[in-house]
Structure 1
Amino acid sequence: MDVWSVGGKKFQKKSSTGAVNFLQLVEEIFNQCGADEILQFSGTVRRVWLRRNEAVFEGTFVHPSILVQRTSTAVEEFAKANAVEDKLRARNVMAVEEVWRPPCHGWWKVNWDASLGKEQGWMGFGVVVRDDRGQLLAAYSKTLRGNLEVAQAEARAALIAIQFCRSLGLEHVHFEGDAKMVITAVNSSDPDWSSMGFVVEDIKHELQAMTQWCFTFVRREGNKAAHTMSKLDIRSFLDNTWLYEPPECISEILQMEQVAPIAIEFH
C-alpha cells in the first residue's frame, strides 16, 4: 500500500480498490490502462516482490519512493532497448524487401533500368527477364544518343522493356523497376501531364496488348541485374540480346538472386 500510494494517480486509486484478489486487480488494470501504464504496473509489481524477498532473506528495507524511482528507471531503459530493437528489426525487414524475388508461378519477372551519361551524350537501357525459379530467359541492353531527364529516361526504359517482352511473345509479366515515379504513373488511371507523360501513355497503350501484367517498385538493391545491364558497353550504341545464357557482367548477380525462395503472389 505504501508503494502504490507514491505511484501514479491511477495506481493510487487502485490501491484502495475493492478487488477480491490479485488476478482481479490485474484484469482491472489491463482493461482500464494504456500500454505505458501497464508496463509501469508490471515493473512495480516485480519490484515489490524483489523488495519483499530482500526484506525476508537479507533483512534490508527499500523505501517506497526509491522503489518507485527504480521502477521508472528500469521501465525507461526497457522502452529504449525495445526502441533500438524495433529499429534493427525494421532495417532487417527493409533489407529483406530489397532483394530480388521471383514472380509467382507461371509469370515472368522483368527488371528494367536506365543509366545516363549526360556529359558523353548517351543513355543506356537494361532489361532482364527471369522465370519463377530465377532462371534467365533473356537479357537486353540498348544505347541511344542524346540526353533526357531522369524520369523521362526511366519511363523510356520501361517502354523498351515492354516492347522487348512483346517481341518475345511473353504474357503474364511482372515488371519491376526502381523508378517509383514512373511506376506510380503507369498504375494510375489519370493522365500524366509531366515531362514523361507522353512516354507513359505509350506504355499504357503497349500494355493493353498483354494478357496480364503488373508494375511494382523495388529499391536499387533488388534491381542490380537490370542496372548493370543499362551500363553494359554503353559507348557502342548497339542493341544486344542474350537468350538463356547471361552476359558475364550479371552472371554472379543472377546466381546469388536465384536462391531467393519467396514468391510474390498476385490475384
Structure 2
Amino acid sequence: MEEGEAVGGGRDEQERRGEGRNEGWAKPCLGEVKLNVDVCVRDEEGLGLGVVCRNDRGMIRWAITVQRREWLEPREVESKAMLMGLKETARRGHMRIVMESDCQVLVEAVKHRSFGGSDFHLILDDMP
C-alpha cells in the first residue's frame, strides 16, 4: 500500500452510515500515529508478522510484513511484531504512538510494564 492511502473509511464514515461508534478501528488523536500489529502462525511455513502505521486521518503511512521460519508462542510472536513496529516508528521519527493488538496478554503486559525472565519478557524489555 502506498503512503497516504485511506483504508476502511474510518470512524467519520461509519458514523455517517449509522454504524456503531465503538466498533471497528478508531483513528488516533491529532498528531499521533497508530500501529496495528497482527501475526499468523502456519505449521509448515512458520510465522507471518504484519504492522500497519496510520496517521490521525486514518491514512496509511507505512506497512511491513515479514515471514520467519521459527516457531514461537503466540504472545512472543505478537510482541516481536510490536517491537518491529516500534523500531520502524522510531526510525521514521514519530514521537506520539498508539499501539493496537488483539493479543490481550501483550496489551496487559505493556500497559502494566510486566517484568519476568521468559523470552516474552525479554522481548518486552527491548521496547522503548
Give the shorter-chain TM-score range: 0.7 to 0.9
Kindly provide the amino acid, as one letter, of the partner of residue 40 in structure 2: S
Kindly provide the amino acid, as one letter, of the partner of residue 122 in structure 1: G
Identity rate, percent: 28
Runs of at least 4 residues of structure 1 off by over 2 A?
Answer: 95-98, 192-195
**1:116 aligned to 2:41?**
yes
Report the CA distance shift for 1:109/1:190 in structure 2 as closer, same or farther (over 3 A): closer
Give the 3-state SS of the residue equivalent to 1:124 in structure 2.
Answer: strand
Distance in 1 (alpha carbons) for counterparts of 2:99 and 2:93: 15
Q: Cα offset for 1:167? A: 2.0
Q: Cα offset for 1:100? A: 0.3
| TM-score, scaled relative to structure 2 | 0.77
Q: Cα RMSD over matched residues? A: 1.6
The match for 2:74 is: 150
Q: Cα offset for 1:164? A: 1.5
By relative contact order (CA 8 Å, sep 6+), the higher-ranking structure is 2
The match for 1:141 is: 65
> 1:122·1:146 contact (CA, 8 Å) conserved in 2?
yes
Distance in 2 (alpha carbons) for counterparts of 1:110 and 1:189: 18
Q: Give 1 or 2: higher strand fraction.
A: 2
Kindly provide the amino acid, as one letter, of the partner of residue 176 in structure 1: E
**1:163 aligned to 2:84?**
no
Q: Cα offset for 1:201? A: 0.9
**1:179 aligned to 2:87?**
no
The match for 1:106 is: 31
Kindly provide the amino acid, as one letter, of the partner of residue 131 in structure 1: N
Distance in 1 (alpha carbons) for counterparts of 2:91 and 2:39: 20
Give the 3-state SS of the residue equivalent to 1:146 in structure 2.
Answer: coil
| TM-score, scaled relative to structure 1 | 0.39
**1:202 aligned to 2:120?**
no
> 2:34·2:97 contact (CA, 8 Å) conserved in 1?
yes
> 1:113·1:126 contact (CA, 8 Å) conserved in 2?
yes
Report the CA distance shift for 1:172/1:186 in structure 2 as closer, same or farther (over 3 A): same
> 2:114·2:121 contact (CA, 8 Å) conserved in 1?
no
Q: Cα offset for 1:188? A: 1.5
Aligned length, in residue pairs: 109
Kindly provide the amino acid, as one letter, of the partner of residue 106 in structure 2: V
Equivalent position to 1:128, from 52, 63, 83: 52
Give the 3-state SS of the residue equivalent to 2:115 in structure 1.
Answer: coil
Kindly provide the amino acid, as one letter, of the partner of residue 37 in structure 2: W
* Structure 1: stretches of 5+ with no match in the other structure: 1-94, 208-267
Kindly provide the amino acid, as one letter, of the partner of residue 129 in structure 1: C
Q: Cα offset for 1:121? A: 3.9
Distance in 2 (alpha carbons) for counterparts of 1:121 and 1:101: 32
